[in-house]
Structure 1
Amino acid sequence: MATQLLLWLHAFLLIISLLPCAATLHKKSNAGTTKYEDREVVANHGVVAADDGRCSVIGMNVLREGGHAVDAAVATALCLGVVSPASSGIGGGAFMLIRLANGTAQAFDMRETAPMQASQDMYAGNATKKDSGALSIAVPGELAGLHEAWKQHGRLTWERLVRPAEKLARSGFRISPYLYSQMVRSESGILVDKGLRDIFTSNGKLLQPNDICYNKKLAEALRIIAINGAEAFYNGSVGSNLVRDIQEAGGIITREDLQMYQVKIRKPISANILGLKIIGMPPPSSGAASMTLILNILAEFGVPEGISGPLGIHRQIEALKHAFAVRMNLGDPDFVNITEALSDMLSPGFAHQLKKTIYDNMTFDPGYYGGRWNQINDHGTSHVSIVDNERNVVSMTSTVNSYFGAQILSPSTGIVLNNEMDDFSMPMNETANGTPPAPANFISPGKRPLSSMTPTVVLKDEQLKAVVGASGGGMIIAGTTEVFLNHFARRMDPLSSVLAPRIYHQLIPNIVQYENWTTVYNDHFEIPADTRAFLQKRGHVLESRAGGTICQFIVQDLEAFRGNKSIGKLVGISDPRKGGYPAGF
């Protein structure tokens, strides 16, 4: 009888452990139930933190089946492309940072490229053709990068990883409140484009939150891709249909552009700051280099005392302004020599010199920071952070640039097309204060535009400490850096590090943007009034912002060993600003 009881109890516990929601929701043990309990998960084996909880669960189920972190990244990213099509998808590009349990790190550059018919002066000063429409479409890279990473590290079949996204597109998915808010802001573009209109409207009106949305053309494209791999997109029927749709809309992408696309596997940036090793994406991402420069400058003030309170925020803003001034010297390293600029940004000595130019009682005009070029205005994105059972790690940020990219959906494939050409600098496009565009980021056939995406991995003594990244266009650098500082310098717990209100500066215009944001989920984030008053007294011009970055954060507690000093308890956070939730087991 006792033996039967033990067997029954073991079976019951096994069933409970396999339920997807078993470890997805977490109540803080020291604070009881909180309104953000479903934004935090504590797990022993693996965690996926994505912008949309449905995709977090899909990625977690891949990990449960023994999948590698890269397997989970493929399934999660493809899911996001279906349920969050305003921000990402296979019609766009991405940066994937991988850090394996054996210590190897890789940076997969699957950034979009300029078509071969593109040229430096192709817009003839007409910025509207650059920021939307068929001529704003760059050659998509996300699917090529996902497939290449899977070929190197994947354990489950490619078809297994693609099928969940296909099913969502075919069977339908509910419109999230956040996606609806993006649809409202893009309504005019949606109504003009037949492809978007057919998917996201009914009887001439936008679908509403919780309405079921179908994209059966995308489902069919994903079915073909599941069977034939990325080849179907880059040298097969899906790509042929996509190119035909782009050219009929007035675009210049050809089948040869797709066939020639190459994923670049680059050496990650690595820096030792505050006793931690920070790994990030190299150019054409400016994220890791900028974050390194900011952290090196702030470390000069002493941590945590030198970056605490309103004065710490002032210093953080000044460091941001320096980073944004320098980053516009970067570009695609296959086209421009960025060695000196990148070396400066990674140099503690360079940061030491810049620290001397920061005054605690004032701020300055953009020219003071040495910026020679105007900024690019990169836009929306999606981020996923993943840790698997062996502590292989993926930090991946993907994008179609603006909401719904070029605001064109390929009618024969259901794919939303990017407007990534807008991330290039355009000759003769000076700002109001006369700052010229950055030559390092001018258009050239096959070139990749500069980006703010900042996927990041943090180590301590070569053991995993955290995975972080954000969506939010040009604000990503500030958002990712702030979450890092909140946890590792200001000693906030992981959830509080993400919940803390954020502040942004991009040098030009010379404005501090601060969160004053009631989200579509009725959460409110706002920089305190005393901090704002402190900044204004130092000459900062402030502007409230009902929007900002969305961060996905996973922390490993190495003090909670799992019988192995390199494997600890995982705490995963999905930013409530976008309504996502993490999943773990």
Structure 2
Amino acid sequence: DRVIVQDRDAEHPAWSPSGDRIAFATRNGRAGVWITTPDAGYVNFVSAQRAEPAWSPDGRTLALAELPGPDIGYNGDPDRVGDRDTQDDFGTTGRLWFVDAPSAPDASPSASSLPSVDRHLRNATAFAAFWKRMDTLYFRQSAPRHERWNAMRTSYESRALAAGSDGLLEQVLHDMLRERPPLRDAATGHAAVSSAHPVATAAGLEMLRKGANVVVSAVGVSFALGVVEPDASGLGGYGQMLVRMRHMDRPVLIEFMSRAPEEASLANGALMRRGGKTLDGPILVNVPGTLAGMELAWKRYGSRKVTWAEIVAPAVRAAEQGFIVSEGLATTLTTEREHFLKHPGARALFFPSGEPFHAGDTLRNPDLARTLRTIADSGATPFYSGSIAKRIVADLRGQGNAMRAADMARYYAAEREPVSSTYRGYTLYSSAPPASGGATLMSQLGSLEQQAAPRSYTEDAATLHAMIEAWKLVPSIRGRVADPGLWPVQLDAFLSKDSARARWRCFSAQRALTPSDIRGDTLPCAKQGTRVSSASGGKGSESECSDHEASAQDQFCHKTGTTAFAVADADGNIVSATQTLGTWGGNFYVTPGLGFLYNDKLDSYASDPDEYGARLPNARHGSTLAPTIVFHGDGVARRPVLAVAAAGNSWITSAVYSVVTGVLDQHLDAQRAIELPRFLLERPSGDAKGNYAIQIEDGFSPDVLRDLGTLGQAFQRISLPGELRMGYAAVVTVGD
């Protein structure tokens, strides 16, 4: 054996029938299909398509079968549909080309001839599958919604059967989705609680009914979520909470991000495994912050009509009496099974029979109930400097973690100024460093504001194009956003209206921006000599597995596991919060007897000690968290109109961006804004030119996608027709 091509990642090799040539595909460098000889006498470029090659019997032609886009990975989306590939009637993959070989690149390609299809049968099958899937996922549980959806079947089925092509059929299904009932009924009242789980929402409402304010309600939600969504957040996690009480001039941000133990700096070589990456386990744990954040919020802004013990009580009940396992938790346990099973504490809690809990099962967690009772009796003190802290440190340090008792005792949650900006007459407040989500949102909106008269981005190509381009023009967080206690934070590039106007000079209504248009601190596409910040400038501030920009191709990365919630009342008191463990399942480790999973953020720092966001002693890590509160107007006359927070790694940015523009620009209610299909800007590592790709959920007009395709926007659909898959959000709107 010998290496004949080593300057690119080769895959899908195919020998010619005569054995004198090898065709192969590449996904990095210049992606495409190539031909070489066994002695590497030449390497010819055959096609720019990302495809798997196969030879014709005479060796004169290559058949190129299009390969699918990169796997988006598990991101907390419940497994409700089974095998997606067998159900995708309108996927963009599956095309076949024939190319002469050898020849000049892409010379005389011809499309394959496929047998004609029974159009009526294909339409009937596709429509029936679409209708049934939507009914099963969203409408069957509600008689009124099911009745409306069933009535729509009659009126749209005849149109679907008459469609003369897949494109026309897809348009019929899209028209049907535009008229469908909401997936859930929007709740209204004097106060509102929005969270990811009914048990947690009930805990928040219980506090409000007892006379507590929105902060107390939010703290109750936080504790309950840590029980019923143990894979997404809890005592071992971290987050940020935005609080606005009626007497405040502006909201305050409570920051409770995790901190690196003092002995866990980059100089500690004992912590490094697999070239710096550890997949799971106790070594990954940073000092948790969630409990400190909740206690600070309660002490500073909570009403005293409900005691601390009463706030924790619903969570204790859920842990002790048990709760129904959700589809999301069941999917996490199945998907991440190999990681959970490595650790006895997690195995005993989530796999007591050797198999994971399934959706609908009852899970009891008496260890967590005991831990929560201790906290209910004595507050956060036992957790950070008492009996619980001793057990945490003894267990983690005994297994290689750098945690000491002093690290736990010195942890504190901090009040910070939220990031703030304006947009079309609204004032927005969002997460602050070390989180970058708020800065990203303000930059997106600052650029989008330059585009007049936005319309529904799912139906209007110009609006969607502008929203995508505004995202491309967001400055890099590298060298700008990190722990403000250790690095000088630089947010002007994100918040300055002058910077937004300068960046928007790059925008073209006729074509999509490419990475070559946006590089360095001086954008080539902007006016010459204008200093503006690009998405590729500055030093790196996050590791490959950070919350910020983890590559979908990175084998060491898991998608971020997060939850979000919002609480508001008619008096203008409002809370928006995001809390998380880092990935779905955190570090997959449970200290025996304590009952909760930990965060995994020790690997979420830059690897160069001179960079922003490096793993220094006591450094708080970065994140894309973006809890947001929006006011209409400015100054003393402004009033709150929206609270939004989201979960889902990079999809946090997508969800908050779509909800904010949906409410402010399209004037949607909270439920319809949540149901807007998401899109996510990505630069897949397999794209040779580094071009942007936009991952999209279904729900965009086929005409819009076709129009933007001609401008150079490249879309990858990641959900089945009608399915909303990514970017869970909690939204509360406040009326006049």
Deviation at 1:280, TM superposition (A): 1.3
The amino acid across from 2:704 in the alignment is: T
Q: Which amino acid aligns with 1:344?
A: A
Task: State the secondary structure of the residue aligned to 2:473.
Answer: helix
- SS of the counterpart of 2:734? strand
Q: Secondary structure at the match of 2:493?
A: helix
Q: Contact 1:511–1:543 (CA<8 Å) still a contact in 2?
A: no
Q: Is the 8 A contact 2:226 2:235 kept in 1?
A: yes
Deviation of 1:207 (Å): 1.3
CA distance, structure 1, for counterparts of residue 346 and residue 701 of structure 2? 40
| 1:403 maps to 2:584 | yes
Measure how far apart 1:537 and its partner are.
Answer: 2.6
RMSD of the TM alignment (CA)? 2.5
Note the C-alpha offset of 1:405: 0.6
Letter in 2 for 1:557: G
Q: Greater shift after overlay, 292-301 or 474-483?
A: 474-483
| Aligned residue number for residue 416 of structure 2 | 266
Q: Which residue of 1 aligns with 2:390?
A: 240
Partner of 1:421: 602
One-letter amino acid of the counterpart of residue 608, structure 2: P
Is residue 2:368 matched to residue 1:368? no
Q: Which amino acid aligns with 1:321?
A: K
Give the number of the structure whose alpha-carbon radius of gyration is greater: 2
Shift of 1:536: 3.0
Distance 1:366 1:131 in 2: 34
Distance (Å, rounded) in 2 between the aligned partners of 1:39 and 1:187: 34
Q: Report Cα offsets for 1:523-550 as digits up to 9, x if no partner.
A: xx44443333333333333333354210
2:652 aligned partner: 476
- Report the CA distance between 1:403 and its aligned residue: 1.1
2:427 is aligned with 1:277: yes
Asked if 1:163 corresponds to 2:313, the answer is: yes
Matched residues in 2 for 1:274 and 1:289: separation? 17
Which residue in the other structure is 1:386 paired with? 567
The yes-or-no answer on 1:533 pairing with 2:706 is yes
State the partner residue of 1:551: 729
Asked whether the 8 Å contact 1:363–1:538 carries over to 2, the reply is no
**Residue 56 of structure 2 corresponds to which residue in structure 1?**
none
Corresponding residue of 1:110 = 256
Report the Cα distance in structure 1 between the residues aligned to 2:678 and 2:456, rounded to whole angstroms.
18
For residue 356 of structure 1, what is the aligned residue in structure 2?
505
What is the deviation of 1:453?
A: 0.4
* Structure 1 runs not aligned, ≥5 long: 1-24, 429-437, 517-524, 559-585
2:662 aligned with 1:486: yes
- Local SS of the residue matching 1:445: coil
Partner secondary structure for residue 467 of structure 1: strand
Q: Does 1:454 align with 2:629?
A: no
Assess if the C-alpha contact under 8 Å between 1:99 and 1:392 holds in 2: yes
Please name the residue that 2:335 is paired with: 185
- Residues 286 and 327 of structure 1 are in contact (CA less than 8 Å); yes or no, is this contact kept in structure 2? no
Offset at residue 211 of structure 1 (A): 0.8
- My pick for the range that moved more, 460-469 or 529-538, is 529-538
For residue 324 of structure 1, report the CA deviation from its aligned partner.
5.6
After superposition, residues 185-204 of structure 1 pair within 5 angstroms as: 185-204=335-354
2:276 corresponds to 1:97: no
Q: For structure 2, which runs of at least 5 residues remain unmatched after alignment? A: 1-141, 151-179, 520-533, 548-559, 686-690, 720-724
Distance in 2, Cα, partners of 1:357 & 1:131: 40
Q: 1:57 deviation in Å? A: 1.2
Is the CA contact (8 Å cut-off) linking 2:261 and 2:286 kept in structure 1?
yes
Give 1:147's aligned amino acid: E
Tell me which residue corresponds to 1:519.
Answer: none
Q: C-alpha displacement at 1:556, in angstroms?
A: 1.2
Deviations, residues 382-439 of structure 1 (Å, cap 9, x unaligned): 00010135331110000101111111111121120100223322239xxxxxxxxx92
> Is residue 172–residue 212 contact of structure 1 (8 Å, CA) maintained in 2?
yes
Aligned pair partner of 1:344 in 474, 484, 493: 493
Residues 27, 37 of structure 1: 8 Å contact kept: no
User: What whole-Å deviation, never above 9, does each CA across 1:556-582 have from its counterpart, x for those lacking one?
Assistant: 121xxxxxxxxxxxxxxxxxxxxxxxx
Distance 1:346 1:320 in 2: 14
Contact 1:140 1:418 in 2 (8 A): yes
3-state DSSP of counterpart to 2:309: helix
C-alpha distance in 1, partners of 2:344/2:573? 42
Which one of the candidate residues 211, 216, 224 is aligned to 1:66? 211
Q: Contact (CA 8 Å) 2:282, 2:399: kept in 1 or not? A: yes
Aligned in 2, Cα 1:351/1:223: closer, same or farther, shift over 3 Å? same
Deviations 1:210-244 (A, max 9, x none): 11111111110000000000001001111111122
Which one-letter code corresponds to 1:244 in the other structure? Answer: A
Deviates more, 1:48-57 or 1:99-108: 99-108
SS at match of 2:461: helix
Paired residues of 1:324 and 1:507 also in contact (CA < 8 A): no
Q: 3-state SS of the aligned residue for 1:468? A: strand
- The match for 2:368 among 215, 218, 231 is 218
Q: 2:261, 2:479 → 1: CA distance?
A: 22
Q: Shift of residue 124 of structure 1?
A: 5.1
2:286 aligned partner: 138
Conservation of the 8 A alpha-carbon contact between 1:331 and 1:338:
yes
CA distance in 1: counterparts of 2:393 and 2:683, whole angstroms: 38
Q: Distance in 1 between matches of 2:709 and 2:478?
A: 26
Give the counterpart letter for 1:542 in structure 2: F
2:324–2:360 contact (8 Å) kept in structure 1: yes
Percent of aligned positions that are identical: 25
The AA in structure 2 aligned to 1:401 is G
Alpha-carbon distance change, 27 to 194 in structure 1, aligned in 2, over 3 angstroms: same
Paired residue for 1:504?
Answer: 680
Task: Confirm or deny: 8 A CA contact 1:512 1:541 kept in the other structure.
Answer: yes
Structure 2 distance, partners of 1:32, 1:60, is: 31
TM (normalized to structure 2)? 0.66
**Counterpart-to-counterpart distance in 1, 2:590 and 2:621:** 22
Taking structure 1 as reference, are residues 243 and 530 closer, same or farther at Cα in structure 2, changes over 3 Å only? farther
Using CA pairs under 8 Å that are at least 6 residues apart, name the structure with larger relative contact order, 1 or 2: 1
Where does residue 113 of structure 2 map in the other structure? Answer: none
Q: Is this contact kept in 1: 2:576–2:628, CA < 8 A?
A: yes
Contact 2:632 2:640 (8 Å CA) reproduced: yes
Specify the code of the residue in structure 1 equivalent to 2:248: G
Contact 2:436 2:624 in 1 (8 A): yes
Q: What TM-score, normalized to structure 1? A: 0.82
Given that residues 106 and 266 in structure 1 are in contact (C-alpha distance below 8 angstroms), is that contact kept between their aligned partners in structure 2?
A: yes
Secondary structure of 1:102's match? coil
Residues of 2 paired with 1:409 and 1:383: CA distance?
A: 22
- Counterpart of 1:255 in structure 2 is 405
Deviation at 1:135, TM superposition (A): 2.4
Deviation at 1:487, TM superposition (A): 1.6
Deviations 1:485-529 (A, max 9, x none): 11211233332211111100145655434344xxxxxxxx44443
After superposition, the Cα gap between the structure-2 partners of 1:530 and 1:244, relative to the gap in structure 1 and judged at 3 Å, is farther
Which residue identity lines up with residue 553 of structure 1 in the other structure? V
